Amino acid sequence: MEAFVENCREAHVGADGSWECNAMGKRSSRAAGKTGRTAAGHVRDVKIDRVGPVTIYLRGDAYYLYYMEDGQRKRPRIDGNLAVAKATAADVAKALAEERASPLTFQRTSPDDLVASYLTYVEEVQRRAWRTRQRYRAGLERFLDYARDRSIEAIDRITVSDVEDFVRWLRGKSRCRNGAKNGKKEGYKVGGIKFVLSTCRTAFNWAGRNRRLPPYAENPFSQFPADVLSEGDGEASEREVFTPLQEKAFFGACNEWQRSLFVTLAAYGMRVGELTHLLIENVDFDQGVLRIRSKPELLWQIKTRDRRDLPLTGLLADLLRDLIDQRPAGFVFLHEPFFAMRKQPAQAFANDSKFRQRLLRLAADMPDATEAERRRAVTAFCRSMGQIPLKRPRMEVMKLTEKIGCPEFTRAHDLRHLFSTRSQDAGGNPLLIQQITGHRSAAMLAHYTHFDIDAKRAALETFHARFTEPEETDE
């Protein structure tokens, strides 16, 4: 009988050394927890315990589970000791009894499927802004290029070593800014590499939550220490803002149209998109309030989607009155040809409500159009109404900074950094400044604040004065 049982055991060992059926026959006389080899040289699986329909085996030095799910054999490996294996077997048995998916079940997913599914989630569930989705798409397409280059067929096979290889691969590539298809190509800088890695990390986190990665598997992009990346040319330099002299020279070099844009951006720390999408109805002179609102009809929304109200100070109230003049509707800030009255808006509207209704009709007239086609149509109409192209302020900043001798400042967004720095330098309440700029967190506000050496010196001298003041004496 012993020989018969032993023959049965060997007959049920598969080509991979695992059991092909759940019928164990007579218990082996071999000591529990020990493994051996069959006559064919395969490692023998030894039954250790059973929890309901789930059997625990020891194979070599690792524990495995065996159970049937949806008519298929499952043999997952358990990373841990026998206690972990028993606890996991209990979780699996409970899930099977409740006719739920086993906690060890996951859907093997290709890189292409991950990217397509995650971008759909970002668009349809999170409802992220179009420009944000485009940036995510650009970053994830680089991941797809790498996966194809390395013939990676499933995302669960990616390890931290692959992420390191991905970084090396990125450093050898060039791209246009912000994922644009055309334009000047440059090599990836550390900021661009970190953005790609952070986008991949978020996509893999989503994959883990949706059972597209093995349970308990760590995110390889979270394990990789992206914060230690550098340009390789020494210590990282602190980001700077205009010095007081540069600031004075910058605004002094502006023409009337440029000054209206950049004074407003610097006075409120406003995002460029918030300025170019500002409508006349958003300016309430009676209440003295400037309202920052998303514009669904214009296919634009505030980055954080948080609306905010800003007080109109005397300087800004006068500037906006001059810009709006007698116009009842349209954009507050007009493109330079419209500002100079070389062009006129394509249509006149009695108020901004009718202007927005016109945009809604434009979308309704294109029921079968793609999002990109609708966006092109809306953009073309807004341009005919005098809207400033989003990239135009940056081009104007580059002209001015080249002219005054500080070409390292290339973005209108730098004026947002300038506001955060100057307002805190002047002793402003950080929480109040955060509400004015619309930053989601104090940490992000800190990212936008760059004190110069004079500000640091003044703060230290105030603090150090405590140690040099003469002590009071009792007479």
In a domain, 104, yes or no: no
Residue 359 has pLDDT above 70, yes or no: yes
**CA pair distance 113, 213, nearest whole angstrom:** 13
Q: Residues of the chain with pLDDT > 90: what percent? A: 52
- CATH code for the domain of 129: 1.10.150.130
At 451 the pLDDT is: 77
Q: Which of the given ranges, 24-28, 245-249, 459-463, has the highest pLDDT on average?
A: 245-249
pLDDT surpasses 50 at 89: yes
Quick check: is 270 in a domain?
Answer: yes
Q: Coil, helix or strand for 42?
A: coil
DSSP for 103-118, written as a single string: TT------HHHHHHHH
30 in any annotated domain? yes
273 & 314 share domain: yes
In terms of pLDDT, which residue wins out, 45 or 97? 97
Cβ-in-10-Å burial (0-12, 13-18, 19+) of 355 comes to buried
Q: Is 470 buried (19+), middle (13-18) or exposed (0-12) by CB count in 10 A?
A: exposed
Between residues 352 and 60, the one the model is more confident about: 352
Domain around 35? 2-97
pLDDT on residue 115: 97
4 band by pLDDT with thresholds 50, 70 and 90: very low
Mean pLDDT across 174-199: 76
Tell me the range of 37-41, 95-99, 144-148, 361-365 where mean pLDDT is highest: 144-148
pLDDT band of 228, cuts 50, 70, 90: confident
In this predicted model, what pLDDT tens digit does every residue of 326-345 receive, in sequence order?
A: 999 999 999 999 999 999 99
Q: Tell me, what CATH number does 397's domain have?
A: 1.10.443.10
Give a yes or no: residue 106 inside a domain: no
Cα torsion angle, 207, 211, 213, 216, sign = positive
Residue with tokens 């999408």: 277
pLDDT above 60: residue 233: no
Does 365 share its domain with 424? yes
285 and 366: one domain?
yes
- Residue ending a domain, choose from 172, 197, 228: 228
H or E element that contains 363? helix 352-364
Between CA 263 and CA 242 the distance in angstroms is 14
469 and 343 belong to one structural domain: yes
- Considering the domain architecture, whether residues 145 and 196 belong to the same structural domain is answered as yes
| CA within 13 Å, CB half, 353 | 0
pTM: 0.68
Nearest alpha carbon to residue 104 among 114, 115, 93: 93
**5, containing H or E segment:** helix 2-11
User: Do 314 and 352 sit in the same domain of this protein?
Assistant: yes
φ and ψ of 64, to 5 deg: -130, 155
**Are 359 and 295 contacting, i.e. CB atoms less than 8 angstroms apart?**
no
Same domain, 134 and 156: yes
Give the pLDDT confidence score for residue 38 in this predicted structure: 56
pLDDT digits (tens, 9 = 90+) for 277-321: 999 999 999 999 999 999 999 999 898 888 999 999 988 999 999
Close Cβ partners of 197 (under 8 Å, ≥ 6 residues apart): 163, 166, 167, 221, 224, 226
Q: What pLDDT, on a 0 to 100 scale, did the predictor assign at position 393?
A: 96
311, 351 in Cβ contact below 8 A? no
With a pLDDT cut of 70, the percent of the chain lying above it is 84
Q: Are residues 307 and 205 in the same domain?
A: no
At 56, give phi and psi (nearest 5°).
-105, 130
Residue 339 lies in a domain: yes
Residue 176 above 90 pLDDT?
no
Predicted local confidence at residue 181, as pLDDT: 62
On whether residue 422 sits in a domain, the answer given is: yes
242 and 321 in a single domain? The answer is yes
Structure tokens at 320: 């906006």
Residue 25 has pLDDT above 80, yes or no: no
Q: Which residue has the higher pLDDT, 346 or 71?
A: 346
Q: Is residue 135 included in any domain, yes or no? A: yes
Query: Number of folded domains in the chain?
Result: 3
Query: Of the candidates 210, 228, 246, which is a domain's last residue?
Result: 228
Pick the last residue of a domain from 38, 69, 97.
Answer: 97
Half-sphere exposure of 185 (CA within 13 A, CB side): 6
Mean pLDDT of 399-405: 95
Residues 147 and 91 placed together within one structural domain of the fold? no
Say whether both 332 and 198 belong to one domain.
no
307 located within any domain: yes
The structure tokens 């028993």 sit at 86
Same domain, yes or no: 314 and 460:
yes
When pLDDT is cut at 50, 70 and 90, the band that residue 211 belongs to is confident
Bridge partners, residue 331, by sequence = 279
